[in-house]
């Protein structure tokens, strides 16, 4: 009798958890699961374990500005753009932790544009990363971080607590989500073909003696990132994604000094003539981000940089990566049309 | 820690485990400690007031017991006359002791809960006489459950005074009786005789009790989170801006409020009783399907029952058996010899006045609540005074009072009267209650119900659907219980598929349709503030 009772209680709990899991998925809003950034944060789990050699981490600049399939086309290096909107350095720390739990990348490139802005992040932007993060050490640490200034930590584990009010606006799409495959064909990259020229001064990196200050919290987490990468034997490269709105010479100087002090690489991407960004054509939103033209140029430059400076394997002929060639084909087609 | 929260559920789970692993002899210690921890988590240092109440009623009851014992010894072998004298003396002493208990405990309650009300009224009076003295107002935080445990404590002392129970020498038992953690929030107000030993005795935690108690807790959560808090959205909109609405919208808001406060209060009591049941403790019932009452009197025998019983026991009887009142009775009976009904009614009404005044005042420190109590007093008075007239009318019209139709009419009439009472209860003050009452009969905007204004009060179509379905479920459950159908027992008898489906639907409807989280503001229990 006692045995049957234990089994039935266990069964009741298991079925309950399964139902909870299903309802959690149905009630997630579309913007958390299937829009822009979230294609990147969700799709990374669809990549084969330990299959990526380079992972780009950071804000929207990352998933709008670096197209891993362009790098693949040029060099055969498998990479992924893993980012969420306005992702601050403190959140990037947990993103990197998560990456390292599923992948063993030789290089992590971290976008530092957000190192100078304040640390406040809107809840929806945090959720675009964390709601898609799998349950594990990185996620638990992130939701316990006091930078996460929102009361219900539990709602990051059971998003239904946050989104249960959506019962009143469910559509067919929400149920279809149960059967969706979240693979990101473009490897986290979000393709934009829009063009809205930047109309300001394109010589925004004028030399000055001044140095900007990296935000205190960002600095603390940058230190933690450097330490984490060292510990895991992953090379960390800091990058500043091209953006006339957020990048300045004093910032360039601050990051250069920081990189030098920590002995990490800093790959400068703003106003590198060789990349050849044309701010009248290569931006979808007046200079905040890059469109597919810009991303293609930056990606090619990074590809060349990686090839010249690191001894990374070319997997293009490797049968385990045959899917990548199909994805590339699709990408090229989408890029043209 | 609100009891409609996940934290509370976790707290209960931890207490259950602690209770199971504690040796039999000390199980009550676990309950007492948990209750104090729960109290501390809610009210921090304010626990001091509960400790004062506990100690004062414990010691004073012992003293009362001592006086009784001494008297017993003293009157042995004494002459009749002397016996009487000694008895009188002891009675005076006992009265003094009970008075001290009342002063300490009602004093704390009076200062913390009613200071500003009294000082405000005194200031108004002083102003009337052009006296420029002002009693400053003070801000007090109400200690958790003070209105409930004070009544429990007083009932214990008075019962000892009345020699209905012996004083308890065990301080732990008295302390647990006052502090039992789920009960402290909103009652039910327990009686020492029925509760103290039940709490103190060790109970084995039975699987059946866990199942059945949890189901009651689940039902309580449903009532509170799905029904009450959802109704509150519309109620708050309308009452918050009542001048903007009239007619059907007002009627709807009043009706919703009546159901809201029922689901809120009964929901809380169900959570409390469910938790107690898990520990093998049966708490007094506080609600018995009040909306099936056929008279206002019956309503109050079914609504907040334990408060009603308390008031009857300690206010009604205290007045009715007091010397001055007995004196008055004899005099009045003489004077109104020819009007037996009238004298009987007047005599019943006098203690009732105190009952309803206390009832009103207990609910809150404002004239509105006193008016609320008086409202019921007046209705009952009219009912009692006009009883012969009603009887004659019924006979004249040849109405069959046992017919179903007549019973339904009685229920409807009671329900309407109760709704007006709830309107007074919810309105900000007496004058706004009257304004709302008047605007209820203004049907100039009758079209509102069709033009979608109803859907602009915070509840859209979907929410309204949930309101209606869940209210129907609640009323069906009440109806079945009224027909002596034990819903939980019956569910337990069904096969596993039906049982589990009911459990899952219950759990997930609270998770999905419950009012909680960032998009809604989860609210405290209404009766927790009294």
**Angle of helix A216-232 versus helix A249-262 axis, rounded to 10:** 40
Of the residues B178, B202, B226, the one at which a domain ends: B202
**Nearest by CB: A162 against B462, B496, B518:** B518
pLDDT of A202 above 90: no
- B501 in contact with A, Cβ within 8 Å: no
Residue B324 belongs to a domain: no
Both B109 and B244 in a single domain?
no
Nearest residue of chain B to residue A15 (CA atoms)? B504
CB B268 within 8 A of CB B274: no
Residue B322 belongs to a domain: no
Tell me what percent of the residues of chain A surpass a pLDDT of 70: 99
Task: Count A/B contacts: CB-CB distance under 8 Å.
Answer: 43
Secondary structure (3-state) at B26 = helix
Both B225 and B167 in a single domain?
no
Place of tokens 């004196």: B327
Q: Of the candidates B173, B303, B329, B115, which has an alpha carbon nearest to the alpha carbon of residue B311?
A: B303
Q: How far is B462 from chain A (nearest CA, A)?
A: 6
Predicted confidence (pLDDT) per residue in B81-114, tens digit = 888 888 888 899 999 999 999 999 999 998 888 8
Token readout for A77 is: 């290096």
Residue B339 belongs to a domain: no
Nearest residue of chain B to residue A162 (CA atoms)? B517
Residue B262 is predicted with a pLDDT of 95
Residue A30 is predicted with a pLDDT of 82
Domain that holds residue B299: 210-311+366-529
Task: Quickly count helices (H) and strands (E) in chain A.
Answer: 15, 5
Nearest residue of chain A to residue B507 (CA atoms)? A16
Residue B278 belongs to a domain: yes
Residue B526 is predicted with a pLDDT of 63
Residue A1 is predicted with a pLDDT of 74
Residue B342 belongs to a domain: no
Predicted confidence (pLDDT) per residue in B157-202, tens digit = 999 999 999 999 999 999 999 999 999 988 899 999 989 889 999 9
**Nearest by CB: B500 against A12, A20, A155:** A12
Residue B336 belongs to a domain: no
CA torsion angle B177 B179 B181 B185 (round to 10)? 110
pLDDT of B344 above 90: no
Both B123 and B240 in a single domain?
no
Both B129 and B250 in a single domain?
no
Mean pLDDT of B466-487: 94
- B115 in contact with A, Cβ within 8 Å: no
Both B131 and B263 in a single domain?
no
Both B299 and B219 in a single domain?
yes
Residue B335 belongs to a domain: no
Q: How far is residue A168's CA from residue B462's CA, in Å, rounded to a whole number?
A: 6
Both B198 and B247 in a single domain?
no
Q: How far is residue B433's CA from residue B431's CA, in Å, rounded to a whole number?
A: 5
Whether residue A15 and residue B460 make contact (CB cut-off 8 A), yes or no, is no
Q: How far is residue B357's CA from residue B375's CA, in Å, rounded to a whole number?
A: 10
Both B266 and B126 in a single domain?
no
pLDDT of B358 above 90: yes
Both B130 and B230 in a single domain?
no
Which chain A residues have a beta carbon less than 8 Å from that of B518? Answer: 152, 155, 162
Secondary structure (3-state) at A111 = strand
Buried b or exposed e, range A18-45, using 16+ CB within 10 angstroms: eebeebbbbbbbeebbeebbbbbbbbbe
Of the residues B202, B237, B262, the one at which a domain ends: B202
Whether residue A152 and residue B518 make contact (CB cut-off 8 A), yes or no, is yes
Secondary structure (3-state) at A265 = strand
Helix (H) or strand (E) holding A235: strand A235-240
pLDDT of B337 above 80: no
Q: Per-domain residue ranges for chain A?
A: 2-336
Q: A188 in the Ramachandran plot: left (φ > 0), alpha (ψ -120 to 50) or beta?
A: left
CATH topology of domain A2-336: Rossmann fold (3.40.50)
Q: How far is residue B360's CA from residue B471's CA, in Å, rounded to a whole number?
A: 28
Tell me what percent of the residues of chain A surpass a pLDDT of 90: 58
CB B161 within 8 A of CB B192: no
CB-based contacts of B231: which residues, under 8 Å, 6+ apart? Answer: B256, B257, B259, B260, B263, B467
Predicted confidence (pLDDT) per residue in A254-303, tens digit = 999 999 999 999 998 987 788 888 889 999 988 899 999 999 999 999 99
Both B177 and B247 in a single domain?
no
Whole-number mean pLDDT of chain B?
A: 89
Predicted confidence (pLDDT) per residue in B279-317, tens digit = 999 999 999 999 999 999 999 999 999 999 999 999 999
**Nearest by CB: B511 against A12, A152, A160:** A160
Of the residues B172, B202, B232, the one at which a domain ends: B202
Domain tally, chain B:
2
Both B383 and B254 in a single domain?
yes
Q: How far is B508 from chain A (nearest CA, A)?
A: 8
**Nearest by CB: B519 against A15, A160, A165:** A165
């Amino acid at each position: 009798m006692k045995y049957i009772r234990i089994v039935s209680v266990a069964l009741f709990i298991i079925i309950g958890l399964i139902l909870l899991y299903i309802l959690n998925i149905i009630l997630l809003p579309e913007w958390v699961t299937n829009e822009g950034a979230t294609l990147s944060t969700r799709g990374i789990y669809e990549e084969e374990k330990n299959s990526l050699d380079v992972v780009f981490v950071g804000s929207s600049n990352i998933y709008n500005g670096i197209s891993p399939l362009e790098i693949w086309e040029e060099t055969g290096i498998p990479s992924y753009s893993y980012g969420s909107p306005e992702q601050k350095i403190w959140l990037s720390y947990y993103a990197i932790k998560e990456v390292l739990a599923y992948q063993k990348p030789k290089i992590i490139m971290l976008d530092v544009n957000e190192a100078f802005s304040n640390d406040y992040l809107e809840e929806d932007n945090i959720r675009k990363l964390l709601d898609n993060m799998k349950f594990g050490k990185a996620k638990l640490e992130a939701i316990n971080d006091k930078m996460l200034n929102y009361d219900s930590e539990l709602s990051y584990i059971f998003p239904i607590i946050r989104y249960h009010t959506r019962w009143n606006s469910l559509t067919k799409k929400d149920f279809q989500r149960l059967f969706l495959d979240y693979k990101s064909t473009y490897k986290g990259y979000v393709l934009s073909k829009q063009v809205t020229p930047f109309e300001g001064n394109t010589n925004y990196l004028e030399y000055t003696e001044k140095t900007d200050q990296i935000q205190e919290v960002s600095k603390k987490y940058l230190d933690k990132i450097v330490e984490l990468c060292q510990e895991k034997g992953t090379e960390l490269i800091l990058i500043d994604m091209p953006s006339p709105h957020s990048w300045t010479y004093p910032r360039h100087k601050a990051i250069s000094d920081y990189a030098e002090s920590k002995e990490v690489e800093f790959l400068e991407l703003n106003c590198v003539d060789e990349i050849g960004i044309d701010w009248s054509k290569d931006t979808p939103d007046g200079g905040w981000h890059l469109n597919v033209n810009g991303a293609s140029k930056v990606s090619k430059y990074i590809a060349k940089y990686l090839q010249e400076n690191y001894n990374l394997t070319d997997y293009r002929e490797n049968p385990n990566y045959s899917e990548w060639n199909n994805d590339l084909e699709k990408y090229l087609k989408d890029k043209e049309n | 820690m609100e009891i409609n929260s996940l934290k509370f559920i976790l707290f209960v789970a931890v207490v259950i485990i602690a209770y199971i692993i504690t040796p039999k002899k000390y199980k009550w210690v676990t309950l007492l400690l948990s209750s104090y921890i729960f109290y501390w988590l809610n009210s921090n240092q304010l626990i001091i007031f509960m400790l004062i109440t506990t100690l004062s009623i414990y010691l004073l009851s012992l003293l009362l017991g001592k006086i009784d014992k001494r008297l017993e010894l003293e009157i042995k072998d004494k002459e009749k006359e002397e016996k009487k004298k000694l008895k009188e003396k002891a009675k005076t002493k006992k009265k003094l002791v009970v008075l001290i208990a009342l002063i300490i405990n009602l004093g704390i309650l009076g200062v913390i809960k009613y200071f500003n009300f009294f000082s405000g009224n005194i200031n108004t009076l002083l102003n009337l006489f052009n006296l420029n003295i002002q009693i400053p107002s003070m801000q007090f935080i109400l200690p958790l459950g003070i209105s409930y445990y004070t009544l429990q404590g007083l009932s214990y002392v008075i019962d000892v005074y009345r020699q209905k129970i012996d004083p308890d020498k065990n301080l732990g038992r008295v302390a647990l009786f006052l502090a039992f953690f789920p009960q402290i929030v909103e009652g039910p107000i327990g009686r020492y005789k029925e509760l103290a030993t039940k709490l103190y005795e060790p109970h084995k935690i039975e699987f059946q009790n866990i199942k059945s108690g949890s189901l009651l807790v689940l039902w309580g959560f449903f009532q509170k989170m799905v029904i009450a808090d959802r109704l509150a959205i519309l109620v708050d909109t309308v009452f918050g801006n009542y001048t903007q609405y009239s007619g059907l919208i007002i009627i709807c808001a009043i009706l919703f409020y009546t159901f809201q406060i029922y689901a809120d209060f009964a929901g809380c009591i169900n959570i409390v009783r469910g938790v107690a049941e898990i520990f093998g403790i049966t708490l007094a019932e506080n609600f018995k399907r009040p909306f099936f009452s056929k008279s206002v009197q019956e309503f109050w025998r079914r609504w907040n029952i334990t408060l009603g019983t308390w008031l009857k026991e300690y206010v009604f009887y205290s007045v009715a058996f007091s010397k001055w009142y007995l004196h008055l009775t004899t005099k009045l009976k003489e004077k109104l010899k020819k009007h037996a009904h009238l004298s009987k009614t007047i005599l019943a009404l006098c203690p009732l006045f105190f009952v309803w005044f206390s009832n009103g005042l207990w609910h809150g420190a404002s004239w509105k609540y006193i008016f609320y109590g008086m409202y019921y007093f007046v209705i009952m008075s009219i009912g009692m005074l006009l009883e012969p007239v009603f009887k004659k009318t019924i006979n004249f019209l040849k109405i069959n009072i046992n017919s179903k139709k007549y019973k339904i009419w009685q229920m409807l009439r009671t329900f309407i009267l109760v709704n007006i009472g709830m309107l007074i209860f919810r309105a900000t003050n007496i004058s706004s209650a009257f304004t709302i009452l008047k605007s209820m009969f203004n049907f100039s905007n009758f079209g509102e119900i069709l033009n979608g204004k109803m859907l602009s009060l915070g509840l859209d179509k979907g929410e309204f659907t949930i309101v209606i379905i869940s209210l129907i479920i609640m009323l069906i459950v009440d109806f079945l219980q009224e027909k002596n159908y034990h819903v939980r027992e019956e569910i337990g008898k069904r096969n596993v598929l039906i049982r589990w489906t009911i459990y899952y639907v219950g759990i997930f409807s609270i998770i999905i349709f419950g009012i909680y989280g960032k998009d809604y503001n989860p609210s405290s229990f209404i009766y927790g503030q009294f």
